[in-house]
Structure 1
């Protein structure tokens, strides 16, 4: 690809960032949802793709740490899909609680944000916002595996958004949205199941900070994940022909035209 082609491609992407794209066919929307579900429930794929959930989880800690006025020091991502975000500030108080509580809801809320963008037919914007977030995260990653994980995810996003067809971009965008919405539930279940062996889990640290039992925090994480999945699914399926997805009001779907 020569400089003229690069400039032309860049100009096209810039234009697409400010415009909407054609909604994909219903087969793609539903098919990517089914594929994402299989990726989450099938143990071998989950072991690999859970790294993407960890990136979102640690990104949530980092983002809220900065918002709450704490100093973000480092992010580490490990091959066992665990992670660690280190920030400086008071070891107690609202900022510390919000930072600690942000991890588990982050994948669900990111997936919900993706669903909102895709529901508005902003496929290109969703892909490039993801790349921008990964670049911002990359600045604070401090270990080799973490760098590799972020580079791989960002590289896939960039390659498909730059070289891929409209259909390829739609597949990746919808698959990512469905995956985060569905995958956000499983770590919460794993959190509760493993709490006996992990006394320093996010929920238990929050319990020590707030005197609110850890199980309450786990249930709160679960409620956020399930609500995000329900609302996100409605947004993603809103344009699917033949599927009744009533809005979040007391109204119902209108009958389809003959």
Structure 2
């Protein structure tokens, strides 16, 4: 147990610039290549709905469950006052959620704790799994969790570091694309029950402005994540 704990809390060697750039390029390919994106986007949905659930719990709402669907959509149901600051905070959390998780991961990696990051992610997935209320969602979280566990338990330090950086880049880069897809669906008359449209009904602020807020937050997280990654010269 002591060896296990030491492994989690020890600082890993600083990754090479080639690894950081290489994982960033790989993450970009996973996002830009549409046939792959149709599957990898489910990770963004897990983070999106997880952010809704986390904020719902923090503002005192009772979380009823989370559903993930095969079209990469999802829904988080919580009980409580249908209006007010708590509900607004829950709706605000979704689209920025993956970017904020990615930024938190970038901060942890900048301190050299790749293994701790992976174990923390596993713990978060176990908690999320308890809230899943449909079969596809259960399968999605289990498959993603099994992948993270395999890398964390059997992977060498270099493999663990590579995977942690790849996942961090993926969250940071995928979040802005998800916001663009939201606005594209709204432009085509779809997504009228989206987070942005629900925020419009609650606040009176146009949905397009909320989409802009989502976009600014995700881009700010990406910029800060790039800064923390060490890619740019100091």
- Equivalent residues in 2 for 1:203-214, closer than 5 Å: 203-214=196-207
Query: C-alpha offsets along residues 124-175 of structure 1, whole Å, 9 cap, x if unaligned?
Result: 1100000000001011101111111111111111111111111110111000
Cα distance in 2 for residues equivalent to 1:176 and 1:80: 21
Which of 18, 21, 28 aligns to 1:30? It is 21
Tell me, yes or no, if structure 1 residue 220 matches structure 2 residue 213.
yes
Q: CA deviation at 1:211?
A: 0.3
Helix, strand or coil: the match of 1:69? coil
Tell me, yes or no, if structure 1 residue 149 matches structure 2 residue 140.
yes
Cα distance in 2 for residues equivalent to 1:126 and 1:179: 15
Match of 1:6 in 2: none
Match of 1:78 in 2: 69
Cα distance in 1 for residues equivalent to 2:190 and 2:169: 30
Query: C-alpha offsets along residues 113-133 of structure 1, whole Å, 9 cap, x if unaligned?
Result: 010000000001100000000
Which of 207, 210, 224 aligns to 1:231? It is 224
Which protein is bigger by CA-based radius of gyration? 1
Cα distance in 2 for residues equivalent to 1:198 and 1:234: 34
Cα distance in 1 for residues equivalent to 2:9 and 2:135: 35
Which of 47, 55, 58 aligns to 1:64? It is 55
Q: CA deviation at 1:108?
A: 0.2
Q: Any stretches of 5+ residues in structure 1 without a counterpart?
A: 1-9, 247-258
Cα distance in 2 for residues equivalent to 1:138 and 1:71: 16
- Higher share in helix: 2
Q: Any stretches of 5+ residues in structure 2 without a counterpart?
A: none
Tell me, yes or no, if structure 1 residue 114 matches structure 2 residue 70.
no
- Equivalent residues in 2 for 1:150-165, closer than 5 Å: 150-165=141-156
Helix, strand or coil: the match of 1:76? strand
Q: How many residues align?
A: 232
Cα distance in 2 for residues equivalent to 1:110 and 1:13: 25
Query: C-alpha offsets along residues 158-213 of structure 1, whole Å, 9 cap, x if unaligned?
Result: 11111111111011100000000000011100111111212111100100000010
Q: TM-score, normalised by structure 1?
A: 0.88
Cα distance in 2 for residues equivalent to 1:62 and 1:80: 20
Contact 1:13 1:124 in 2 (8 A): no
* RMSD, matched Cα: 1.0
Cα distance in 2 for residues equivalent to 1:153 and 1:165: 19
Cα distance in 2 for residues equivalent to 1:112 and 1:131: 17
Q: CA deviation at 1:13?
A: 3.1
- Equivalent residues in 2 for 1:1-258, closer than 5 Å: 11-195=2-186, 196-236=189-229, 238=230, 243-244=232-233, 246=234
Q: Stretches of 4+ moved more than 4 A in 1?
A: none
